[in-house]
Structure 1
Amino acid sequence: MDQFTIFGFFIFILRSCSGIQHEEDYLKFPPGFSIGSASSAYQVEGAWNVSGKGPSVWDWFTHKKDSIVVGQATGDIACDSYHKYKEDIAMMKDIGFRHYRFSLSWTRILPTGLPDKISQEGLQYYKDLIDEVRRQGMEPFVTIYHWDHPEFMTRLGSWTNELMVQYYAEYARVVFRELGSRVKLWATVNEPEQNCRLGFGRDVHAPGINLPHFGEYLCLHNYLKAHARAYHIYDEEFRAEQGGQVGIVHLCEPFFPQPSDDLELKRIGFETGCAWGTYPIFSKEGNYPQVLRDRINENSKLEGLPFSRLPEFSPEWIERIRGSFDFLGINIYTAREVRALPREANGKWPNDFGVELIINETWPENNSWLRVVPQGMGEILRTIRDVYDNPPVYIMENGATSAKGFKDYNRIEYLYGYMKEMLLAINRDGCNVKGYTVWSFLDSFEWSDGYSDFFGLVEVNFSDPKRKRTPRLSTKWLKQIMKKGRLINIKDIGQLH
């Protein structure tokens, strides 16, 4: 029995002996468990050039004449949450949320991107926002960076340039100093792997640096260093006085091996899909997973390179990054199957990792790109429990799209399925999950998809200058489950009208 299963086996025995017999007994939220919703600055704020704000990389990316964003949409106005945040927070309170996860705009606080100029107007906006969240009885969960760094840094190579580590660290220090007395939960960066893959290995996201098998590796390497710098700045300069917690948010979706009993392939799938960015922080050993280092190193040699395309951490950086967390934030939407690929004729590993990630066509479809695979929620939580010694976990994004309109039944079904698997993982399997966050509170700018996907619990009319908000049916369902402290059976959805 390997590390992925032995812990779960003992938890199962202990739980069985405790007298809990029925699945419904597991579907209660633990005491102190927090449910909230989320947004990010560029996706909802708008006000792109007010309060002295400087241009971000997404301002530049969406304003380009050859913009690839659907409908050439921008976040110039977006949901106009910069002006409507009080209305939004009042709606969150009415639903019963206990936390609100949002991000800060780097260039709203530091218009030049550097601490030579701090915008007091920008800072005041975030102070007012945080104070309003707290006044309405919720906890602010603040992401320092959610992909919208200053535009000029792109001309320096952005996250492929190690200068970003220093720039980000100085930005984080200003944020901790100015806002830390109001905030107890910080996330340093959001989904670094996804940003690196789509923005540096491809040209789908800003900044569109299309350098596959080079750009994304340099990008993640510097992200991890930046995260560790920020964590230690807080730990050494602010924690004693402010008493908060600092973590990081990763996309950690499950990859089911085919064949299903291939435990080695299961491990490689996890290391490809989640541990590439989490292993250096959360494992006992630190550094990147060995199999990824070995395979990229082998490929680099076969290509005739005198170095590996995967950058190498010094022993000092391994130590500094390892253990730089108070919690792990994970985003999960769907799942993939993972299949092993044989070496190519020249001996190289295909895709550098030697695996193929595919969609199982039998999995139900949602309105957008994602497949509905709720069992993946429990799978990834149990894997994190086993591999990383059960760290505190916050689910920071989980959600689905719906069609326009009020009746988002498919979203309720999706959330019910994923939350059910989460609660089974907590109450039956002993996973250390502290909170759950629905993505997203509002329909918003969905990056290269523009305004073509509707993830919001609240519909936003983007053709209305006032950006009218209309809560969807799912908000009524969420309100009920939070009042009752447990999941409501999916059969009872019809009673929400």
Structure 2
Amino acid sequence: MASADTTVSGKFCEGFAWGVATSAYQIEGKWDADGKGKSIWDDFTHTPNHVEDSSNGDVACDSYSKVEEDVKMLKELKVSHYRFSLSWPRIMPTGKADNINKAGVDYYNRLIDALLKNGIQPMVTLYHWDLPSAIEESGGWLSEEIPELFADYADYCFGEFGDRVKLWITINEPQIVAYLGYCVGLHAPGTQDPLTKPYLVSRHLILSHAKSYRVYDSKYRAAQKGKVSLSINSDWAHPAGDGKDPKDAHAAELYMQFTNGWFSDPIFLSGDYPPLMKEAIAKKSKELGSETSRLPVFSEEEKKMIKGSYDFYGLNYYTTRLICDPASNEKATRMHPDLDAGSATDPTWERAGSPWLYIVPWGLRRLLKYVSDRYGKPTIMITENGCSTKHPVGAKEEETLQIEDAQRQNYVKSHIQEVLKAYRDDKVDVQGYFLWSLMDNFEWSAGYTERFGLYHVDFQTGTRTPRKSAECYREIVQKNGF
């Protein structure tokens, strides 16, 4: 079995999905054009002090006007798939299915048709964080009504695009929606309520996914023969000291259940939240004077609907953390008051441009094995994996070009190496890899100060220029491995 520092040769399965990924708000621009409704990210970025460089996605990569240019880059990369998201308010300005914006629908039809004409299969994400403002005004993800509204939106999209789209992601990184949006407030809508709202939001996200999956099952699967899942974001939680202290090993498993398992367990395992997470929140709730847990419950009927609502496991991985019992390391940070686990990093790990992104390729292999073992060996599609560079506020566009981008090239090669080891040696059923991102784009609360693109984007002129990492990735794609 190959170790982490060993380079291996080998190929992935025939038909392996090689792709790149983007999302609507991050690339499309034209935020108020052609009948599009506002999203919570329009509201969030137009409010001062929410984004590092005070920027927004009003123009971004202007992909709404550049379908041909986007497809040209994809063809140059030789990828077989392109993962992009639909903007809910571009299709439904009020968020409701009784108000369809034809111009928005036409744009996505043009994109899908152009991809297929050029031999590229679309993987479509229904929700990549740009909730219609009209729904937010009536409660957003805190509302009991949103699972039904989301299922109506999904129903429309399956019906409109599903004759050509065979891979669907319902929700991208629901843990990030709940945590960054409602716990610490770094993402839209900017709510800070760590003890209650993230858990309520998580319930509605899970129900929204499950309802949408069941809609596809009952109305579209027989004719369209597509596959539906969601994308789970997950760090690998490696126990400090390699788990020699049982308390650190327990803390690492607790961390995995609180993050990965928060959304994975209900859908891929049990229909309910992970046991360690339920125990911890019930205990903390009691300590705060409540006889009932702050974690909402699913009814037995809901559990049946949720459990098994997937056709593959969509996994987003970027980095790893060292996890310890918080009492053993005062310098370790705690992600959440309910989570008795300390998080740290190894000082020898190389750091990418994003302050949170440490480059730990072997963590991806271990995470793949963990997911495969815990969830019954599902087919796994790596729906995001990528490396950023940092550019200070006010940096000139020529300073962000970085054509050579050696760090990103090494990141791509080393991480796909670990995927190959998981596939070849650990017998993990990996059938796709989507690199984040096709091109530089609006990186949420970091604005344009962090760049993940295989292609540089000059946001002054709109020019797209391939970096050496694009060539590096193309070679791996063409060889279907190493």
Answer yes or no: same fold by TM over 0.5. yes
Confirm or deny: 8 A CA contact 1:342 1:350 kept in the other structure: no
**Which range moves more in the overlay, 145-154 or 260-269?**
260-269
1:188 aligns with 2:175: no
Task: Find 2:466's aligned residue among 471, 492, 497.
Answer: 471
CA–CA separation in structure 2 for the residues paired with 1:29 and 1:386 = 20
Task: Find 1:399's aligned residue among 358, 368, 386.
Answer: 386
The code of the aligned residue for 2:308 comes to G
The offset of 1:25, in angstroms, is 5.5
Confirm or deny: 8 A CA contact 1:252 1:273 kept in the other structure: yes
Match of 2:396 in 1: none
The offset of 1:157, in angstroms, is 2.8
CA–CA separation in structure 1 for the residues paired with 2:162 and 2:200 = 30
Q: What SS does the corresponding residue of 2:350 show, helix, strand or coil?
A: coil
CA–CA separation in structure 1 for the residues paired with 2:9 and 2:338 = 41
CA–CA separation in structure 1 for the residues paired with 2:38 and 2:93 = 8
The offset of 1:184, in angstroms, is 0.2
The code of the aligned residue for 1:382 comes to K
The offset of 1:350, in angstroms, is 7.6
The offset of 1:486, in angstroms, is 2.5
Match of 2:14 in 1: 31
1:475-490 map, 5 Å = 475-487=470-482
Match of 1:323 in 2: 308
Confirm or deny: 8 A CA contact 1:56 1:150 kept in the other structure: yes
Match of 1:290 in 2: 275
Q: For 1:133-169, what per-residue CA distance to the aligned partner results, in whole angstroms no more than 9, with x for missing partners?
A: 1111111000000000111222233212221111111
1:352 aligns with 2:353: no
Q: For 1:90-134, what per-residue CA distance to the aligned partner results, in whole angstroms no more than 9, with x for missing partners?
A: 111121011000000001111111111111111111011001111
CA–CA separation in structure 1 for the residues paired with 2:217 and 2:469 = 39
Match of 1:42 in 2: 25
Q: What SS does the corresponding residue of 2:207 show, helix, strand or coil?
A: helix
Which 5+ residue runs of structure 2 have no aligned equivalent? 329-334, 391-399
The code of the aligned residue for 2:228 comes to V
1:408 aligns with 2:405: yes
Q: What SS does the corresponding residue of 2:255 show, helix, strand or coil?
A: helix
CA–CA separation in structure 1 for the residues paired with 2:407 and 2:327 = 39
The code of the aligned residue for 1:154 comes to E
The offset of 1:24, in angstroms, is 5.7
Task: Find 2:68's aligned residue among 81, 86, 89.
Answer: 86
Match of 2:351 in 1: 365
Q: For 1:183-213, what per-residue CA distance to the aligned partner results, in whole angstroms no more than 9, with x for missing partners?
A: 0000000000011101101211000111112
Match of 1:441 in 2: 438
CA–CA separation in structure 1 for the residues paired with 2:407 and 2:240 = 28
The count of residues paired between Structure 1 and Structure 2 equals 459
The offset of 1:473, in angstroms, is 0.6
The offset of 1:23, in angstroms, is 6.3
**Which range moves more in the overlay, 228-237 or 393-402?**
393-402
CA–CA separation in structure 2 for the residues paired with 1:199 and 1:339 = 26
CA–CA separation in structure 1 for the residues paired with 2:131 and 2:18 = 29
Q: For 1:426-459, what per-residue CA distance to the aligned partner results, in whole angstroms no more than 9, with x for missing partners?
A: 0111001110011000100000000000100000
The code of the aligned residue for 1:325 comes to Y
1:108 aligns with 2:110: no
Match of 2:397 in 1: none
CA–CA separation in structure 1 for the residues paired with 2:252 and 2:326 = 14
Match of 2:237 in 1: 255
**Which range moves more in the overlay, 333-342 or 287-296?**
333-342
Confirm or deny: 8 A CA contact 2:252 2:324 kept in the other structure: no
Task: Find 2:207's aligned residue among 212, 222, 225.
Answer: 225
Q: What SS does the corresponding residue of 1:182 show, helix, strand or coil?
A: coil
CA–CA separation in structure 1 for the residues paired with 2:447 and 2:81 = 26
1:456 aligns with 2:453: yes
CA–CA separation in structure 1 for the residues paired with 2:468 and 2:326 = 44
Q: What SS does the corresponding residue of 1:247 show, helix, strand or coil?
A: strand
The code of the aligned residue for 1:397 comes to E
The offset of 1:339, in angstroms, is 1.0
Confirm or deny: 8 A CA contact 1:90 1:136 kept in the other structure: no
Q: What SS does the corresponding residue of 1:389 show, helix, strand or coil?
A: coil
The offset of 1:360, in angstroms, is 2.3
1:67-86 map, 5 Å = 67-86=49-68
CA–CA separation in structure 1 for the residues paired with 2:9 and 2:292 = 51
TM-score (norm 2): 0.92
The offset of 1:279, in angstroms, is 0.5
Q: What SS does the corresponding residue of 1:230 show, helix, strand or coil?
A: helix
**Which range moves more in the overlay, 434-443 or 398-407?**
398-407
1:238 aligns with 2:223: no
Confirm or deny: 8 A CA contact 1:256 1:269 kept in the other structure: no
Give me the identity figure in percent.
39
Q: For 1:373-411, what per-residue CA distance to the aligned partner results, in whole angstroms no more than 9, with x for missing partners?
A: 000010100001111111011101100013622111110
Confirm or deny: 8 A CA contact 2:94 2:135 kept in the other structure: no
Task: Find 2:365's aligned residue among 357, 378, 385.
Answer: 378
The offset of 1:259, in angstroms, is 3.4
Q: What SS does the corresponding residue of 2:165 show, helix, strand or coil?
A: coil
CA–CA separation in structure 2 for the residues paired with 1:34 and 1:298 = 44
Match of 1:56 in 2: 39
The code of the aligned residue for 1:456 comes to G
Q: For 1:50-73, what per-residue CA distance to the aligned partner results, in whole angstroms no more than 9, with x for missing partners?
A: 121011111111112x24112211
CA–CA separation in structure 2 for the residues paired with 1:208 and 1:158 = 12
